[in-house]
Amino acid sequence: MTQRQRVLFITNSELGQSTVALAVAHEFLLRVEYDVHIASFPELENAVTELNEQTAILSPKPCCNATFHTIAGKSMKQAAGRKAEFIEMHPPGVRGAVFAYQKVLPATFASWNGAEYMIGYSSSVKIINDVRPNIVVIDPLFSQAIDACKEMGQQYVVLSPNTFKDHLIKYQPAAGALWKYPQLGSGFDYPFVSWYTVFANIYLTLRIMFARLSNPLLKEVLEYRRSCGLAGRIPSIFEGFGDANIVLPSTPDIELPYVVPERITGCGPILPPVVPIAKSHPELEAWLQRAPTVLVNLGSHIIFDEPFALKFATALRVLLDRRPDIQILWKLKTQGETWDSLFSKEGAFQIIAKEIADGRVRIEKWLAAQPIAILRIPTVVCMVHHGGSNSYHEAISAGVPQIVLPVWIDTYDFSTRVEYLGIGVWGSRTAAPKVDADELSKAFIRVLASDETTGMQEKAKAISLPFSKTEGRTVACEKIVELMKC
């Protein structure tokens, strides 16, 4: 009997990073010739258990289970030392971007101190030795595993939730990073419309380089790492991964125009499989089928306080009056007593109280079904999100126009993308990272009740067509299999 080939995924436990690994692992679990292992921090273990259970439900024939391995030490969020939100919000523009380079980016490129970094490195080495994989599939923000593979001569591939821009901007011809493509966190439009933007972008490019070179946390990690025998720069999105193969969800049709080398494989949205909502949550499916629906899902990091909720509800009031046929499904995260206060007689939701009582506005603390399962219901006509990569690609896959309310770093890139592609609107251009009721209401009207509405819907549907034929996770799986044979 032929020995099964072993595939080891090593990923951070934060869902923004690990979702693509779980999605592609599902594809390998369907193929009994592979032995699948997933290494991460303890916070992800339940998700791996759920992956095994869901794969068994969705597979029409026998499938395998993934084996979970615990990485020692602190997770990225724990190492960053943030008890509430992992990333701090900031406005776009020059000042906002510079603030992000100084105060926000260190949470991603220097989450661990030197000793913590080496704990993750040593743990990766041990897991690789224990599993003896044919290939290791690595989260780009877990540099420790890339270091481990390089030192051990282990074949690996980077599986990223990020975009062509994140991985390729520094390699574009004619120094395009300086003058052609909006720098991280800037929120600049593409293409640039003024010389001011060009010079501002050049300035920001120099500032982000300086932030990387001068960051004391990064220097400490680099020196500690070298003292332990690891030479060279820390492998990362910012430094590049040399000639490593990278698999990610971008394709030319859903991205700004970049020159893409052969070692980069764009797969389309890499999303986990879902049980059809009619089967998993029939009550919610019946409600969605009642009317055209707007899904509001700002992710797990965005917390609504009373002023924020009031502005949002005020904008919804305008939309509800303009489109009496539309209904709203709103995932709302609050803290403390805010939830009860919002629904009180004096609370922010009095402005939409009748619609809440009638069931036309449905506000949930947590979505009962996965967002992509909801988006694939044909009556969903718009998604409002914070500009996370997973949210953007979910809406792309479903062919649904988007309103983006960006709040930090790369989320501003996604607001630029939807406007460039003509599939949505940046709904908080003047107020970000907050919202303005008047500006947001105008965004709702543009996407859902204007002479632009049909065009956005048609473009969103057209862009999604290739991904309805072949899932991005399948493309990613097949590419990794191809690399294993090299």
Per-residue pLDDT tens over the stretch 414-457: 999 999 999 999 999 999 999 999 999 999 999 999 999 999 99
C-beta of residue 425 within 8 angstroms of C-beta of residue 446: yes
Q: How many whole angstroms from its chain centre is CA 9?
A: 18
- Copy the structure tokens of residue 94: 């020059």
C-beta of residue 184 within 8 angstroms of C-beta of residue 409: yes
Average pLDDT, integer, range 91-115: 89
The answer, as to whether pTM is greater than 0.85, is: yes
Q: Is 70 exceeded by the pLDDT of residue 82? A: no
Taking the C-alpha atoms of residue 169 and residue 65, their distance in angstroms, rounded to an integer, is 38
Q: What is the pLDDT of residues 122-166, one digit of tens each?
A: 999 999 999 999 999 999 999 999 999 999 999 999 999 999 999
Burial pattern 290-314, b for ≥16 Cβ within 10 A else e, equals eeebbbbbbbbbbebeeebbbbbbb
Q: Is 50 exceeded by the pLDDT of residue 84? A: no
Average pLDDT for the chain: 94
User: In this predicted structure, what is the pLDDT of residue 88?
Assistant: 85
Least confident segment among 98-102, 239-243, 277-281: 239-243
Residues 6+ apart with CB under 8 A from 226: none
Q: Is 90 exceeded by the pLDDT of residue 167? A: yes
Residue owning tokens 């909801």: 374
User: In this predicted structure, what is the pLDDT of residue 83?
Assistant: 41
Domains and CATH numbers, the chain: 5-272+471-484 (3.40.50.2000), 277-468 (3.40.50.2000)
**End-to-end alpha carbon distance in the chain:** 22
Q: Tell me which residue of 213, 219, 184, 177 sits closest to 198, measured CA to CA.
A: 177
DSSP conformation class of 274: -
Other beta carbons within 10 Å of 46: 10
Strand partners, 68: 38
User: In this predicted structure, what is the pLDDT of residue 152?
Assistant: 96
Residues 6+ apart with CB under 8 A from 478: none
Q: What is the pLDDT of residues 319-357, one digit of tens each?
A: 999 999 999 999 999 999 999 999 999 999 999 999 999
